Amino acid sequence: MSSVSIRNIAIIAHVDHGKTTLVDQLLRQGGAFRENQQVAERIMDSMDLEREKGITIKAKNTSVHWHDAIINIVDTPGHADFGAEVERVMKMVDGVLLLVDAFDGPQAQTRFVLRKALQHGLKPIVVINKVDRENARPDWVHDKVLELFLELEANEEQFNAPFLYASARDGWASDRIDGPRENMDVMFETVMRHIPPPVVEEGTFRMLVSNIDWNDYVGRIAIGKVLSGEVSTGDTVYVIHRSGERVRLKITKVFEYAGTKTNDTGRAVAGDIVGLAGFEDIDIGETIAADESAEPLPFVDIDPPTIEMEFAVNDGPFAGRDGKLVTSRQIRDRLIREVKTNISISVRDAGEGGRFLVAARGGHANRSVG
């Protein structure tokens, strides 16, 4: 598929402004599910902790096929504690849907995520959500968003972002407050018209690893946007580690993200967001290239950790009775595995047997490691 038919967007918002519900509706109306298919609410929130707390923690990938186009969607966390997850997706997208509650207006975390997007030169589309509620004040919210754009020094193009009015819960969007309330077509059309197709660079295949996934059958999956060239299953590529080491290997699978599924597509072209398998050792921020002499791609600096906690084996009266990971080796293995897919934390030995110091960004320390 030509990059002209691809759009890569992130959805950013304050916690509980309806972001994950909006993704659910875009997937439904983009034909990701059969008409009679039963689908759980909050489709994109797959982690137990996310469903429990009702927030998004891990950035997720999916795509909607709308007419002849593919809209790749990254659902990002809205909370500043998960800033590293927000940072890494900025390299993959060309625009953002800024979702704002029609009563609350822009909040602290709206400001945090929007600043990151504007600094990366991304084009915004503003979606004022929940306008059907009794206490909604969309005109006031419209002005507050424009004030925020000025505060954050948006450029002229970003400041002139289109505004849409929506109810993600009821599945409609309009470009006017009093416009028709039928479906999400206006949102799809605005994305295709206002968000540019991905910039395709000249040359052979190159991709920056922006996220890591895991599959029991193929192991580690490197996720990112293909910047140039194309890649197919069976191709020989080189991983350029952050240490400078270059390792030659063969791609065993090429995955695309469609709806809630990960499909083996066999081939990916410049501009698309895909997952690649065939790696024993690869980390976020590293480069995959067809040319052994390729330069490593620049990586977004991640905000440093803000909190440190100590993890240790339970030595209390109930030691060994609660949970399955009860030895220091099991705890260490689980923490190291977390480091592989979460670049915002670091783990080091505390100097005593079975004790580990984990540094993270605020709420990351609350993520389950069991």
CATH homologous superfamily, domain 307-366 = Elongation Factor G (Translational Gtpase), domain 3 (3.30.70.870)
- Domain parsing of the chain, residue ranges: 3-194, 206-289, 307-366
Distance CA(280)–CA(211), nearest Å, equals 15
What integer pLDDT is reported at residue 39 of this predicted model?
A: 41
pLDDT < 50 stretches in the chain: 33-59, 78-79, 363-370
Strand 6-13 with 69-75, pairing = parallel
The total number of residues shown for the chain amounts to 370
What integer pLDDT is reported at residue 38 of this predicted model?
A: 40
CATH homologous superfamily, domain 3-194 = P-loop containing nucleotide triphosphate hydrolases (3.40.50.300)
Residue 40: other Cβ atoms inside 10 A: 10
What integer pLDDT is reported at residue 283 of this predicted model?
A: 84
Does the structural domain 206-289 have CATH classification 2.40.30.10?
Answer: yes
What integer pLDDT is reported at residue 57 of this predicted model?
A: 30
pTM, rounded to two decimals? 0.76
AA letter at 99: L
* DSSP β-bridge partners for residue 275: 223, 255
